[in-house]
Amino acid sequence: MIARYQTILFGVLLAASVAMGIVLWQLRERAHQRLLQGQDSAPTQAPEVAPAEPATLLVANDADNSLLSQVQTLPLPKDPGARARLILGKLMDLYAAPDAAHPVPGGSSSIAQVFLLPAPGLSAGITTPSSPAKTPEASGPQLAVVNLTGAFAASHPSGLEAETLTVLSICGTLHANLPRVTQVRFLVDGQPRPTLAGHADLTRTYLATDAVPTEGAHP
């Protein structure tokens, strides 16, 4: 015969176990919901609609080894690095078009990143008396580091003219839209690479003025 107090104790413990199981189940559900909510909110942020602005592109032409200035209207962000990447992406889209005068596959995804840094050199630390409040970083010349994708370099047509025009059009386009960019360096997948596709040197620092067509370039 089971004592009465033991029956009551068993009933209380059973009720407590069931209650604890229910609480535990609810906590698990809440944690699951929190995780799902966290995953949803992490990468998505609605982009601001930037106003359309004119951008100057120096478009290469294989037929006469020239760079032609072309103005396109694009929605451009305020951040200079993102701005440079978008403009270069548009340039690469033109080259990827079927009727391009300088056909290069890849399109806008060929430009992985563009970093803007203070340019090394004498003029980097010079401030003019008219703008004493500006720091050298804010007003001095800049070095643009263009990180290309490996797929772009691998699919780029091999040739002195083709590779040189691609490099110079990138340098010229950057300087035309961001005049403080005076020097440009290139990386491929974040690493230095000897040449673009076997010819044009990617290890050197290019001066933006290299892209200006020289006298006698068109015989």
Q: Which residues bind other proteins (CB under 8 A)?
A: 62-65, 103, 157-162, 164, 167, 194-195, 197-201, 203-204, 206, 210, 214, 216-219
CB of 28 vs other proteins, minimal distance in Å: 60
Q: Are 208 and 184 in contact (CB under 8 A)?
A: yes
Q: Among residues 43 and 219, whose Cβ is nearest to other proteins? A: 219
Query: How far is Cα 102 from Cα 95, in angstroms, rounded to an integer?
Result: 6
CB of 173 vs other proteins, minimal distance in Å: 18
CB of 208 vs other proteins, minimal distance in Å: 13
Q: Among residues 90 and 186, whose Cβ is nearest to other proteins? A: 186
What torsion do the CA atoms of 120, 123, 128, 134 make, to the nearest 10 degrees? Answer: -10
CB of 204 vs other proteins, minimal distance in Å: 6
Query: How far is Cα 96 from Cα 187, in angstroms, rounded to an integer?
Result: 20
**Which of 78, 88, 77 is CA-nearest to residue 114?**
88
Q: Among residues 129 and 216, whose Cβ is nearest to other proteins? A: 216
Q: Among residues 121 and 157, whose Cβ is nearest to other proteins? A: 157
Residue 17 phi/psi, 5-degree rounding, is -65, -45
